[in-house]
Structure 1
Amino acid sequence: MELLSTGQFWTAAFLAAAAAYLIGSVSFAVIISRLCAQDDVRAHGSGNAGMTNILRTYGKKLAFFTALGDFGKGVVAVALGRIIFRLVADGAAPALFDGGYIAGLFVILGHVFPLYFHFKGGKGVLASLGVLMMLNPLVFSIIVILIVPFVFWVKIVSLASIIGFLIFPVLTTIVNLVSRKPYQFDLFFSLLISAMGIWMHRTNIKRLLNGTEYKFGAKKTTE
């Protein structure tokens, strides 16, 4: 079968990236806080448009719907990115990579820097989980099994998120090697997603080092 040409690749990559970024820019935290609380969550707590800040500011119900939206847009973006690559390929083999990684990276970028909300979004944890579930269900399952109990043990969401981003590219590479699949492309994009996720938690890392990071049950207005 004929491989995807360079022109086809860049066309598909551009379309997938653009579509994913626009999907990621739909900030459910901002929309839900405005519709349900006539407020903007970014004016409270950490200032982030994410589920954790919604939870602290408005409670579990709105946090649930925010989490569902953020996770779901990661799923939708990767699925759409793969469809775009298949359509552009027009029967050609998509070489040795998963086009969903491009969509995954850009939906997270959209969440972090939303076009529709002055480029002030969240940290991309739930969107990243939705992306990961679509890209590699096995890696997703391993991370969830490891991280969820850890969250309830340490009661610090940010620490668990940082560890999840750190082990994502490692587990991706191990799984690909064990299954004898090419790993270079997947490793490259998983490293980009990991680096962006850790960078977005840089203030949390400072608070973790200072011993002042927020824990479940603590009455604190900053993340």
Structure 2
Amino acid sequence: MNTLIATIAAYLIGSISFAVVMSRAFGLSDPRTYGSKNPGATNVLRSGSKKAAIATLVGDAAKGWLAVWLAVKFGPSYGLDEGGIALVAIAVFLGHLWPVFFRFVGGKGVATALGVLLGINVWLGLATLATWLIVAYAFRYSSLAALIASVFAPFYYGLLFGADEILFAVVVMSALLLYRHGANISNLIAGKESKIGSKAKGAAKK
């Protein structure tokens, strides 16, 4: 029962879309209506507001970290085992992708996945973040950086901890990230993908 409660709570935490919340707070257009129409930090950045984008990034990463950290820190005292922690990690990520509070229209999960990885292990999160930063700096494509980082995340976990139930959760997240970036993969191949910092039409303040 405690595992079920923790999983549902994690999903609800993940369902808080900081891209929408922060856009409203900063008086910006709904990020689901311009650019890639993805409620995430990269698309919010296309509005021209770096503050809103940073707030979105921090918020989305923090919710992933918080859910997993709470499960790791306090879960064992309430009977939450390794499998339960894995379920929490997947649940908070699914909440971001398909948020119940926003008609199940969510983001692609890059920042939230990073938060989850940091909650599992700081070094795991930092290694994955470093991979994203290197690729993003070299090619200026957030989507490409996310794709490559998502492939490396399970590899990093395996090196650090070997194969276990939490590795399964990381693999599931990586697979979902690749799935959610399907349109970006097509755009990258066609040379139509927007680079980091490019401003989108319709992203002006209300």
| Residues 105/25 of structure 1: CA separation in 2 closer, same or farther (3 Å cut) | same
The correspondence for 1:189, drawn from 169, 180, 185, is 169
Q: Unmatched 5+ residue regions in structure 2?
A: none
Task: Name the counterpart of 2:25.
Answer: 35
- 1:113 matched to 2:101: no
Task: Name the counterpart of 1:202.
Answer: 182
CA distance in 2, matches of 1:217, 1:82: 36
| Residues 217/82 of structure 1: CA separation in 2 closer, same or farther (3 Å cut) | closer
User: Helix, strand or coil: the match of 2:46?
Assistant: helix
- Between 1:135-144 and 1:122-131, the stretch displaced more is 135-144
| Residues 217/50 of structure 1: CA separation in 2 closer, same or farther (3 Å cut) | closer
Higher RCO (CA < 8 A, seq sep 6+): 2
The correspondence for 2:129, drawn from 117, 120, 144, is 144
Task: Name the counterpart of 2:144.
Answer: 159
Task: Name the counterpart of 1:12.
Answer: 2
Quote how far apart the aligned CAs of 1:133 are.
Answer: 0.6
Q: How many percent identity over aligned positions?
A: 35
CA distance in 2, matches of 1:84, 1:15: 13
Quote how far apart the aligned CAs of 1:149 are.
Answer: 2.1
Quote how far apart the aligned CAs of 1:83 are.
Answer: 4.9
- Between 1:125-134 and 1:38-47, the stretch displaced more is 38-47
CA distance in 2, matches of 1:217, 1:14: 41
| Residues 157/15 of structure 1: CA separation in 2 closer, same or farther (3 Å cut) | same
| Residues 200/133 of structure 1: CA separation in 2 closer, same or farther (3 Å cut) | same
- 1:46 matched to 2:36: yes
Task: Please give the TM-score of this superposition, normalised by the length of structure 2.
Answer: 0.89
Instruction: Answer whether contact 1:20 1:81 (CA < 8 A) is retained.
Output: no
CA distance in 2, matches of 1:57, 1:147: 22
CA distance in 1, matches of 2:49, 2:98: 24
- 1:123 matched to 2:108: yes
The correspondence for 1:101, drawn from 86, 91, 104, is 86
Task: Please give the TM-score of this superposition, normalised by the length of structure 1.
Answer: 0.83
Q: How many corresponding residue pairs?
A: 202
Q: Aligned AA for 1:132?
A: L
The correspondence for 1:213, drawn from 193, 201, 206, is 193
Task: Name the counterpart of 2:11.
Answer: 21
Quote how far apart the aligned CAs of 1:220 are.
Answer: 5.2
Task: Name the counterpart of 1:5.
Answer: none
CA distance in 1, matches of 2:2, 2:47: 40
CA distance in 1, matches of 2:177, 2:96: 11
Task: Name the counterpart of 1:79.
Answer: 69
> Could you say which structure has the larger radius of gyration?
1
Quote how far apart the aligned CAs of 1:31 are.
Answer: 1.1
Instruction: Answer whether contact 1:82 1:98 (CA < 8 A) is retained.
Output: no
| Residues 219/39 of structure 1: CA separation in 2 closer, same or farther (3 Å cut) | closer
Quote how far apart the aligned CAs of 1:39 are.
Answer: 3.4
Provide, for residues 1-50 of structure 1, a one-character-per-residue CA deviation record: whole Å limited to 9, x for no partner: xxxxxxxxxx2331121001000111111111123216322111111111
* Cα root mean square deviation, aligned: 2.0
